[in-house]
Structure formats: structure tokens, C-alpha cells
Amino acid sequence: MKIELLTIGKNNFPFIEEGIQFYSLRINKYINFSIRYLPESKKLFNMPAGERQRREDEIFLREIKPGTFLILLDERGQQKTSLEFASFMQQLMNRGYRHIVFLMGGAYGVGEKIKQQAHEKLSLSRFTFPHELARLIFAEQLYRAFTLLKGEPYHHE
């Protein structure tokens, strides 16, 4: 199984990049995980939010292969505890999905098309986070989920 976090735009903060690499390396001891940073299209910057969402939806959808289990990371999604999230990941593995994509929308969020295609909507918190920090939080929770599933202590190395 392969897990991907699909996002738009780079990490501009070195501390975020370092943190994400820290957790990504550790997740990859358990499972194939990577973050894909789609390039931000400057052409979209001056568009109205709705139009920008529609265009970004199309950009995202081109990257998602058929048969992928798609989870939208969205403020209005369902919140899970770390244990619930771990058990959710276990269920997906049991169901035999080969490719799981977590999608984090652009600055204006995603449009209706992605919302309809997503199999699940998951919220990290009621707080609004900058995208970069949200990526770091997600990576840490995914790492935590696998340490929980493997019954391993959570190492604060």
C-alpha cells in the first residue's frame, strides 16, 4: 500500500520542511509514504475564489489514479482521536486499498468536484492552520497511527 499527501505549493519555512522530513522518514519504516507538492499556478492567483477552486480541482483530479481511496483534509470534516485515526488506517489496509491519497486543498480550499469524489472528509482540528503546519501535523499523526498499530512506543528521539 502507498499513502500520499497531495498538496499545492512548496514548504517555505525550513523548520516545517525539517519536521516533515523527520516524520516522513519514520513513517517509511512502516509504509510507503510521500508528499506530493503540485506547483502553484500564478495564473490562478487573481481569479475569483470559486473559479480558482474549480481549476485547482481539475489539477488535483488529474493526479488521482482510478481505484484510489481519497480522503479530503477539510476543516468541516470529521475529527478523530489519534486512536480512531489509527484504527481507520487499519481498516483501509484490511480492505486492501493499494493507493490512499490524503488531499489538502489550496488557499481557497477545494471545490464541489473534489468534495463529491472524496470517500472521507477528515478534520485535523477546529483551528485553521497554515497549510505548511497542517502538513507537519498530518505527518506526525500518520507516524503516531503506525506506532499505535504496531504497538510500539512513541519515540521522542
Angle between helix 14-27 and helix 131-149 axes, rounded to 10 deg: 20
Q: How far is the CB of 96 from a second copy (least distance, A)?
A: 26
CA-to-CA dists, residue 153 to 25, 89, 118, 145, 150, angstroms: 17, 18, 32, 11, 9
Which CB sits closer to a second copy, 2 or 37?
37
Sheet holding 32-38, edge to edge: 32-38, 2-8, 99-104, 69-79, 120-123
Q: Does residue 37 belong to the site contacting a second copy (CB under 8 A)? A: no
Which CB sits closer to a second copy, 14 or 67?
14
Query: Which of 82, 87, 90, 117 touches a second copy by CB under 8 A?
Result: 82
Cα separation, 94 vs 24, whole angstroms: 22
Q: Does residue 62 belong to the site contacting a second copy (CB under 8 A)? A: no
Q: How far is the CB of 9 from a second copy (least distance, A)?
A: 9
The residues that touch a second copy, with contacts defined as CB under 8 A, are 12-16, 18-19, 22, 79-82, 84-85, 124-130, 132-133, 136-137, 140-141, 144, 154, 156
